Amino acid sequence: MILRIDEYDINYIDEGEGEVVILLHGWGSNLKSFNSLIELLKSKYRVLAIDYPGFGESSELKRSFTIDDYADIVEKFLVKLGIKKVILVGHSYGGRIILKLNSRKALPFEIKKNVLIDAAGLKDKRDFKTTLKIKTFKTLKKMAHILPISEEKKEELEKELKSRFGSKDYADAKPIIRETLVKSVNEDLTDCLDDMRETLLIWGDRDMVTPMWMAKKMESTIKNAGLVVLSGGHFSYLDDPYKFSKVIVSYFGL
């Protein structure tokens, strides 16, 4: 289904009946990544899931977005559907959006509780290897600009450096998406943790994208939070589907 919000066509699904749960996908993903979770929840809940602008089957971005821009889309989406109470479930980047929504003081709907799966939003603690990699990239980038080569060659060299030293998400993305990603990863949402409603944290024990220290920080800071650790990486809900489904069945009373 499609719902028009501002200048964007938002692709979404709306299945089941009961209390409303909205699923917010991770960066570079889409609502289809939640297919098994949708099937599980819709037996007792009304399940909504959307593709953000720039992802899945929703409209392409017309400008770079901030996390607040994406939170605005989700807020307006729920308002247009007349939702008064909602449970928020987000994976990775979806966690950033959930942190933003919980921090807003005058929402037109009530957030009952949250489920964060390998959620992003906290600034990464850079180890020595990461720091060295960043410094090497910056040094080589400066050198590329003083080499006696054409501007075209300099641009090609800079793209090659970004491909070699940047993240795969950054290297694979279109320019507007790259700008959006940079804005997002540079924003630390630690201050939003104090405003979080009840939160279930689900994390992969081998998650290298949003490491376990982030889960522990969220668990210790959010007032009413619990942490479940699965066997897996950044997509723990797909890596350990059996235990994940057991956790969801228990938490949602299915």
Question: What is the full per-residue pLDDT of the chain (254 aa) written as tens digits?
Answer: 999 999 999 999 999 999 999 999 999 999 999 999 999 999 999 999 999 999 999 999 999 999 999 999 999 999 999 999 999 999 999 999 999 999 999 999 999 999 999 999 998 755 444 444 444 444 444 555 555 556 666 566 555 545 554 445 544 557 889 899 999 999 999 999 999 999 999 999 999 999 999 999 999 999 999 999 999 999 999 999 999 999 999 999 99
- Give the pairing type, strands 20-24 and 46-50: parallel
Secondary structure class of 28 (helix, strand, coil): coil
Residue-range definition of the domain harbouring residue 153: 128-180
Q: Are residues 11 and 42 in the same domain?
A: yes
Q: Are residues 27 and 102 in the same domain?
A: yes
Q: Are residues 73 and 139 in the same domain?
A: no
Q: Are residues 203 and 111 in the same domain?
A: yes
Spatial CB neighbours of 76, under 8 Å, sequence gap ≥ 6: 5, 6
Q: Are residues 44 and 118 in the same domain?
A: yes
Report the domain count for the chain.
2
Q: Are residues 84 and 115 in the same domain?
A: yes
Q: Are residues 110 and 23 in the same domain?
A: yes
Q: At what angle do helices 128-146 and 151-165 cross, to 10 degrees?
A: 170
Q: Residue 105 half-sphere exposure, CB side, CA atoms within 13 Å?
A: 0
Residues 19, 85: contact at Cβ < 8 Å?
yes
Q: Are residues 114 and 142 in the same domain?
A: no
What is residue 213's predicted lDDT score, i.e. its pLDDT? 96
Which amino acid type is present at position 202? Answer: I
Cβ-in-10-Å burial (0-12, 13-18, 19+) of 194 comes to exposed
Which amino acid type is present at position 136? Answer: T
> How is residue 232 annotated by DSSP?
S
What is residue 133's predicted lDDT score, i.e. its pLDDT? 47
What is residue 111's predicted lDDT score, i.e. its pLDDT? 98
Q: Are residues 215 and 167 in the same domain?
A: no
In angstroms, the CA 41 to CA 43 distance is 5
Domain end among 138, 153, 180? 180
Residues 209, 235: contact at Cβ < 8 Å?
no
What is residue 145's predicted lDDT score, i.e. its pLDDT? 56
Q: How far is residue 218 from each of residues 21, 70, 119, 121, 233, measured CA to CA in Å?
A: 21, 21, 10, 10, 18
What is residue 151's predicted lDDT score, i.e. its pLDDT? 66
Which amino acid type is present at position 108? Answer: P
Q: Are residues 32 and 117 in the same domain?
A: yes
Q: Are residues 103 and 133 in the same domain?
A: no
Beta-sheet strand order (sheet of 46-50): 2-5, 8-15, 46-50, 20-24, 85-91, 110-117, 199-204, 225-230
User: Dihedrals φ, ψ of 44, to 5°?
Assistant: -135, -15
Q: Looking at residue 36, which CATH number applies to its domain?
A: 3.40.50.1820
Q: Are residues 87 and 201 in the same domain?
A: yes
